[in-house]
Amino acid sequence: MLFSEVVAASAAVRATRSRKAKIAALAELFASAGPTEIATVVAWLSGELTQGRIGAGWRTVTGLDTPPSAEASLTVEAVDAVFTQLTGLSGTGSALRRRELLTELFTAATADEQSFLLRLLTGELRQGALTAIVVEALAQATGIPIEVVRRAHMLSGQLPATAVVAITGGEAALRAFRLEVGRPVAPMLASPGGSLDEALAELGPRVSVEHKLDGARIQVHRQGEQVWIFTRTLRDITAGVPELVELVRGLACTSVVLDGETLALTDAGRPRPFQETMSRFATVADTTELLLHPYFFDCLHLDGRDLLDEPLQARRTALELVAGEHAIPALVAPDAEAAADYYDDALAVGNEGVMIKSLDAPYAAGRRGKSWQKIKPAHTLDLLVIGAEWGYGRRTGFLSNLHLAARDEETGEPVMVGKTFKGLTDELLRWQTAEFPRYQSGTDGHAVFLRPELVVEIALDGVQTSTRYPGGVALRFARVVRYRPDKEPQQADTIATVRALG
């Protein structure tokens, strides 16, 4: 397949806001890709490389000054081969060889291909071809039911690998996907709820009420003595959390997959700030200084039995059996008064609120549904930072006022919904000013514009209709709670969620 075909499909996707048109353009491309090309094509149009990081950063790529080729001759295979070569470079002379390979590649590319390569390699391939759209396009290209493709993707955790199986093995091969211990599953997500009474009325009396912890999401896998610990984004952090590994090895089972949260606690047993817990995920820290404590709330597999499709009540029974004191306590099928008391208790001990979960619902891997609802005393949203303004007064010299956006669920594009500088501590101001240039896509002198890759949690009193921002709404009394390095951009809240608060 010619590389120009991928570039043309990308251009078609960027040129339309129609979800149907995006899916059609991608489906046509996927249908013509060969078995050895489909994984690469799917990864590129999701804005990723199959090789991961290849050492070709913004400065390296934008520093190239090569005239484009007049004719399209590059193939998908040839471009991918260059990326693979770049991945293997290290040591003396590697910087020179990297520049030589990139120069050769860009010289062979047309102007449109050069533009695509630049955006792909610098993380700016923002075209609305998000995972959900790519999954639908793959289903359309192969004629396989969307639910089959979606489930296989959630169980595999890798969209390119799912695409290969769909193209080479068809529906039967995708249906054969099972939860595999050691391979992370996309986590089930909760929806923001209104009030406690509203959630109880919607989900009915058969619910589990749990404390909502201000911790970091973890997914734990064990097979015999082998243990894996994954983050919300499915990153393997096993080497950095030995105390969790030791604890999981001590559970009374042969194989298990658990979903939960982990927190660092104070000497008094109260949760430490979220950023302190997350600091353990950044590097292999000194575990004697900041120990993590796990709290598991779901069991997806136990001793050879997959539980994803079982109702929560059955999964809860398995959880309590295997996790014991490490299972987060739950109030099962309470009346409204008992649930309200439990909510007050959660806040009193320093937790964020409560989770209300339907006891009859299966585990919807990778999906955000109404069967799990989070209830907090204040509205919070996970939004994308798409810009920041240089401060004045005591904030002179710091990037301050944040430009905030929600995701358009149809196109995947960021939609601006407000600005705020409230809640920014001196520490955060220093961090933003040092960190934001890594994500810069432009500037007008007053503001720095960023690629939508950073997720920040914003507290607000509500939203109101407004023509000031493209989303048609504005945030009321928005203030920064914290950044969410555990969340990918596609996990930010949608514009529909924001509007629903109005």
Which residues on neighbouring strands pair with residue 216, listed in sequence order?
Answer: 262
The Cα–Cα gap between 405 and 303 comes to 44
List of residues 6+ apart from 130 with CB closer than 8 A: 46, 412, 490
* Unique residue bearing structure tokens 């303004």: 389
Distances from the Cα of 171 to the Cα of 149, 164, 251, angstroms: 8, 12, 37
Is 368 annotated for ligand binding?
yes
Which candidate in 22, 212, 357, 487 is catalytic?
A: 212
Is 289 annotated for ligand binding?
no
The Cα–Cα gap between 419 and 443 comes to 17
Q: Is 357 a catalytic residue?
A: no
Q: In what order do the strands lie in the sheet with 353-358?
A: 189-192, 368-375, 353-358, 207-212, 330-332
Is 352 annotated for ligand binding?
no
The Cα–Cα gap between 19 and 41 comes to 19
Is 436 annotated for ligand binding?
no
Is 374 annotated for ligand binding?
yes
The Cα–Cα gap between 154 and 234 comes to 11
Is 217 annotated for ligand binding?
yes
Is 477 annotated for ligand binding?
no
Residue 485: closest CA among 184, 237, 178, 181: 237
Phi then psi for residue 230, to 5 deg, are -120, 155
List of residues 6+ apart from 448 with CB closer than 8 A: 387, 388, 389, 390, 399, 436, 437, 440, 442
The Cα–Cα gap between 340 and 151 comes to 36
Residue 221: closest CA among 184, 171, 177: 184
The Cα–Cα gap between 112 and 15 comes to 14
Known catalytic residues? 212
In the annotated binding site for ATP, the residues are 210, 217, 232, 261, 297, 368, 374
In the annotated binding site, the residues are 210, 217, 232, 261, 297, 368, 374
